[in-house]
Structure 1
Amino acid sequence: MITLITGGVKSGKTAHALKLCDAYTGKTYVATAEAFDEAMQTKIDLHKAERDASWVTIEEPVSLHSVFDNAQEQDVILIDCITMWLNNLIYKQLNTEKHIEHFLVRLAECGKPVVLVTNETGLGVMPANPDACRFADELGKLNTKLAAMSDEVIFMISSIPLTIKGAKK
């Protein structure tokens, strides 16, 4: 079961993702963010405080496909977030297509519940510079692929989850 949670910045995506994983005992939290400044470190610290000791944390900013090997003993994997991962790939000038392809293959083969957090960047104005345009384009394409693969897609607005694909029974 793959669940994709999308929405705007500070819309409650991570909090809802953590809540969805509450029913599991073996939980892996995959952090993709890197603390490149004080503001990001503060955000990382806040996310750490949201998780209790039942979580195993894997920090993987680039080789996201590898987390499936490292989380084999766990019942559920939460990846937070796809947006930062793609940002890392682009910023480091890595082969985004190759990394995305490897990740999507491993995700499809995983065989256990995976909750993915991403950002919806397509609701605002058109980005003003070429780098921002490229990022928005690539994230939009990646989110489309992830949504197609997902059993459930949830859109968060003001911490309210709206199931837009595959409502749970």
Structure 2
Amino acid sequence: MIRQAQITLVLGHAASGKSVWAEELVLSRGAVATYVATAALWDDDMRAKARRHAERRGPEWSLIEGRDDLDAICTEAGAGDILLIDCATMWLTGLMMQDRDWSAPADAWIAAMARTKAQVVVVSNDIGGGITPDNALARRFQRAQGALNQRLAAAADAVVLVTAGLPQVLK
């Protein structure tokens, strides 16, 4: 495992094991675990994925779902709490699908993480390793996700890349 950190960023590609690894990290720290689910459940596949995640986590977790005001969530958390925000990519997707600005809310969220007494673990997808997408929206999203990940990594005390369920400490 990695050292204790106030802000930990866990990166990985789709189905890399990053969420499972992040959940284990949170539980190993012995704090009051809160899962912050950022995904909009637009279709049956997303609803099934959310169900699988909830079953895997079990009853020892409290749950906050469907909110995009991550700054308020971080501000409300206290000492002895640990937030698992899963994930920054779905949060960004939700804002972009509503054609909302993401930069100012990201700044507010990052500032709130720096101020909170809680520990925060953020899961995010590393989507920049593939080809350049063939349409403007996908390219805009790829650039925004890369920029968000860079901001989160700069603010984090620890950054871990998970590949095939194996963590590689980057910071």
Map 1:155-166 → 2, pairs under 5 A: 155-165=161-171
Query: Is 1:19 matched with 2:24?
Result: yes
Contact 2:85 2:122 in 1 (8 A): yes
Structure 1 alignment gaps of length 5 or more: none
How far off is 1:71 after superposition? 3.1
How far off is 1:79 after superposition? 0.3
> What is the CA deviation profile of residues 29-65 of structure 1, one whole-angstrom value per residue up to 9, with x for unaligned ones?
1000111000111111111111121111001342221
Map 1:91-106 → 2, pairs under 5 A: 91-106=97-112
Query: Is 1:63 matched with 2:69?
Result: yes
CA distance in 1, matches of 2:112, 2:15: 28
How far off is 1:74 after superposition? 5.0
Query: How much identity, in percent, do the aligned residues show?
Result: 35
Indicate the RMSD between aligned Cα atoms, in angstroms: 1.3
Q: 1:127 aligns with which of 117, 124, 133?
A: 133
How far off is 1:111 after superposition? 2.8
Q: 2:90 aligns with which of 84, 89, 105?
A: 84
CA distance in 2, matches of 1:72, 1:36: 32
Q: How many residues align?
A: 165
Moved over 2 A (4+): 69-74
How far off is 1:25 after superposition? 3.7
Q: 1:108 aligns with which of 99, 114, 124?
A: 114
CA distance in 2, matches of 1:163, 1:15: 16
- Which residue number in structure 2 is paired with residue 136 of structure 1? 142
- Which residue number in structure 2 is paired with residue 8 of structure 1? 13
AA aligned opposite 2:117:
G
